[in-house]
Amino acid sequence: MFRRFKEEFSFVIGNVFILLAVWAFIDFAHLLPDTYYSLYIESLGGSPLIIGSILSASWLVMAFLQLAGGYWADKRGRKALIVGAGFARTLIYLVFAAAPTWHFILLGELLIGTVTIAQPAMSALVADSLPPEKRGLGYSLSMLAGVTSILSPIVAGILFLKYGLVAGMRMAYIIVSICWLISGIMLLRLKETVKTEKTGFSLSEFLKEYPKAFRECLTIWRFLPKAMLYLFLIFTPLMFFVRMCIPYYVLYANKVLGVDEFQWAVLQTVNSITFYCSLLPVGKMVDKIGRKKPLIFSSISGALAMALFLHGNPVGLYAFSVFSAICNVLVFTAYPSLQADLTPKEYRGKLLGFSNFIDCLLGSAALLSGGFLYETVSKMAPFLLLLITMASTAVGTAIFVTEPKVKQS
């Protein structure tokens, strides 16, 4: 059995091992403040519309840096961008910790949006480092590294009970900063996966190259199969409505359904436990039966989760946490696996840059729209729209998505 286990996970060396260790740190850290993020902004004077506006502005900054990030990831390599962004986050999260008003949260989110220029490089490095026949398992394992975050909502709840909302959140952000410092040091050991033209960075050179980066990322579809375009067109609208709802789950649960802060932490913990217990079985399933069926199941599970959340029954909320986790583990494993199967290595950075650009651009609009709908139309409206879109995505995936006969290396 040990020999079989060793063979199954023989790819967990080098870059893969380093990234797994990093994700174990940062996933635990990030979910600490995420548990009460919207309530924290409210306590600093922000309204639901301001919460959406803050995140919208951050995602707008992210959008226009993703194209440059994808271009540079292919041209200059993955490592420099990833390491630089890691150390930058160490300082940025101290802004969140010290924020006296919501305006400083806005500044922090804009800075976070800037360092996500490294996101295409990170995604490309992962795809480069995983063998094609192990991608489903590899992506599952990459998320399993965040199993440490199961404890995060409970730790956040304990900080809330002991220190109160504001002081507890400040401590949580300091922990995030420390974890990014440790992670930055670990990322220095990454190995580059592509040949680079040159290294170095200057603002003038960045501005000079940006139009070319923009142009090359937009024209990348000429070199990709139509199946990749269909996959992109089906799941991109879904992510719009997902982003629309994210900041308002805790507000809706707390203000409308009467879920107290600690109970919300327990629900989040149930979600995390389900997510991490499902990862390896789902990863194996994605490698064995293909990527399409898990994608269909993910949308069905997501639609069921939304229906349970809106119903608001106490028992149903725990079922919502379970089905929501299953939806996430299916899509986060199957989608990147199929994307990597369809995309040659030399184009991955640009494709991910373009995909992230569109996702962030739509995400910016979605977060602003979600705040408007939640505050002025109906608190239920964003979640109803997501439910409808989940059902539509399941149908679209079944009809249009296809898998390649030969997977890209």
Please tell me which residue, 316 or 356, carries the higher pLDDT value.
316
Q: Which of 7-16, 219-228, 252-261 shows the lowest per-residue confidence on average (mean pLDDT)? A: 7-16
The number of residues making up the chain comes to: 409
**Model pLDDT, residue 217:** 67
E-only strand ranges, 78-214: none
pLDDT band at 202 (very low <50, low <70, confident <90, very high): low
Q: pLDDT for 275-301, tens place per residue?
A: 888 888 888 898 888 889 999 999 999
Distances in Å between the Cα of 28 and the Cα atoms of 126, 143, 162, 303, 365 are 20, 12, 20, 27, 28
pLDDT at 68 over 70: yes
Q: pLDDT for 111-135, tens place per residue?
A: 999 998 888 888 888 888 888 777 7
Going from N- to C-terminal start, the domains of the chain cover 8-190+203-400
Superfamily designation of domain 8-190+203-400: MFS general substrate transporter like domains (1.20.1250.20)
Query: In terms of Cα–Cα distance, which of 182, 157, 151 is closest to 169?
Result: 157
Which residues, including other chains, have CB under 8 Å from residue 385's CB and lie 6 or more apart?
Answer: 241, 244, 373
**Model pLDDT, residue 382:** 93
pLDDT band at 168 (very low <50, low <70, confident <90, very high): very high
Distance between CA atoms of residues 16 and 129, nearest Å? 7
2 CB burial (10 A radius; 0-12, 13-18, 19+)? exposed
Q: What percent of the chain has pLDDT over 70?
A: 93
> What is the arithmetic mean of pLDDT over 256-269?
88
Is pTM beyond 0.75 here? no
Q: pLDDT for 346-358, tens place per residue?
A: 777 778 778 878 8
pLDDT at 100 over 70: yes
